[in-house]
């Protein structure tokens, strides 16, 4: 079977919802033992239950990715770390002058330090095994200017840069590191954002946001997960140090 992850241990941060959850389900279907890394116990348990009901293997690790010691302790539990997917992240809306220091620090802690903590905890084990795959979630915001996304863009630019650095430093150790850059994806975050900021006009605003992408719609989380599955599979064994836009044409057609 192509894109098989049979007998591989895959750690996925943010696997309790959205892209992370879709990736966890996809990886389990491909045969991986999925380690669900999340702070949201209810969401993590839901992901685990869905995987187990379909005959897959999953283990929940409730971890705050901003806590380096907690990440290291959790990542010592699997027998191996064959794949690491850094999907955990938070968003922020605001320009430079409307971004308080507290919000800037919050975005940095999760989106930048969280990825750093996760990769650092995994890399020594991968290096010892002389193999491993890391896939980070960047964003179109790391490549083009997005209005009112100052802190978020900063964090995703850092994710892209860290990806390229790790790919170069560990290629001789048999470790591949790539990232993907989604545009808008229809996740629970989008629904929550619309309900909070546009009560009574959710559908209208959803359609407006969808129309900003040339393809005319948002991505489904499962579509993003399919690209992640490919990049983490042995079939992508010749790919490292790359960023893959998955954006409905946003970068190349809009810009």
Per residue in 33-57, pLDDT (tens digit) is 999 999 999 999 999 999 999 999 9
How far apart, in whole angstroms, are the C-alpha atoms of residue 12 and residue 24?
Answer: 7
- Write out the catalytic residue numbers: 152
Helix (H, G, I), strand (E, B) or coil at 7: coil
Tell me the average pLDDT of the chain: 96
In this structure, what is the dihedral angle of CA atoms 36, 39, 41, 44, given to the nearest 10 degrees? -30
How far apart, in whole angstroms, are the C-alpha atoms of residue 254 and residue 209?
Answer: 14
How far apart, in whole angstroms, are the C-alpha atoms of residue 163 and residue 53?
Answer: 34
Confidence of residue 70 (pLDDT cuts 50, 70, 90): very high
Would you state the pLDDT for residue 46?
98
| Range of lowest pLDDT (73-87, 154-168, 209-223) | 209-223
Would you state the pLDDT for residue 143?
92
The Cα-based distances of 243 to 104, 111, 143 in angstroms read 24, 17, 10
| pTM of structure | 0.95
Residue in the structure block whose two tokens are 């302790």? 73
How far apart, in whole angstroms, are the C-alpha atoms of residue 154 and residue 117?
Answer: 18
| 71-98 mean pLDDT | 96
Whether residue 83 is predicted with pLDDT greater than 70 in this model: the reply is yes
- Which residues are within 8 A (CB) of 138 and not within 5 positions of it... i.e. 6 or more apart? 156, 159, 160, 163, 179, 180, 181, 243
Confidence of residue 210 (pLDDT cuts 50, 70, 90): very high
Handedness of CA 94, 166, 178, 6 (dihedral sign): negative
- Which residues are within 8 A (CB) of 59 and not within 5 positions of it... i.e. 6 or more apart? 33, 34, 35, 36, 48, 77, 78
Q: Which CATH number fits domain 9-184+220-254: 3.40.50.720, 3.30.565.10, 3.40.50.620, 1.25.40.10?
A: 3.40.50.720
Name residue 83's beta-bridge partners.
10, 133
- Smallest CA-to-CA distance from 89 within 115, 67, 70 is with 115
Which helix or strand (DSSP H or E) is residue 181 part of? Answer: strand 175-182
In this structure, what token pair is assigned to residue 248? 């409905």
Confidence of residue 22 (pLDDT cuts 50, 70, 90): very high
Confidence of residue 196 (pLDDT cuts 50, 70, 90): confident
Would you state the pLDDT for residue 252?
86
Confidence of residue 255 (pLDDT cuts 50, 70, 90): low
User: Residue 249 — left, alpha, or beta (φ > 0 → left; ψ -120 to 50 → alpha)?
Assistant: left
| 47-74 mean pLDDT | 98
């Amino acid at each position: 079977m192509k894109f098989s992850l049979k007998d591989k241990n895959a750690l996925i941060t943010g696997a309790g919802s959205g892209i992370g959850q879709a990736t966890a389900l996809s990886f389990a279907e491909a045969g991986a033992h999925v380690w669900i890394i999340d702070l949201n116990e209810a969401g993590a348990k839901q992901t685990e239950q869905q995987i187990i009901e379909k005959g897959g293997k999953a283990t929940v690790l409730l971890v705050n990715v901003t806590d380096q010691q907690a990440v290291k302790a959790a990542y010592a539990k699997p027998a191996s770390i064959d794949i690491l997917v850094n999907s955990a992240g938070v968003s922020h809306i605001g320009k430079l002058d409307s971004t308080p220091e507290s919000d800037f620090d919050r975005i940095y802690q999760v989106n930048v330090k969280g990825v750093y903590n996760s990769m650092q905890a995994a890399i020594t084990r991968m290096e010892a095994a002389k193999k491993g795959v890391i896939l980070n979630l960047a964003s179109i915001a790391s490549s083009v200017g997005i209005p009112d996304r100052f802190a978020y863009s900063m964090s995703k630019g850092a994710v892209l840069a860290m990806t390229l650095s790790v790919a170069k430093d560990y290629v001789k150790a048999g470790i591949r590191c790539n990232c993907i850059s989604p545009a808008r994806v229809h996740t629970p975050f989008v629904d929550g954002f619309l309900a909070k900021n546009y009560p009574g006009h959710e559908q209208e605003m959803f359609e407006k946001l969808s129309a900003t992408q040339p393809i005319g719609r948002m991505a489904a989380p499962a579509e993003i997960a399919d690209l992640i599955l490919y990049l983490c599979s042995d079939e992508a064994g010749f790919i490292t140090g790359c960023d893959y836009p998955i954006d409905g044409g946003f970068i190349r057609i809009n810009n």
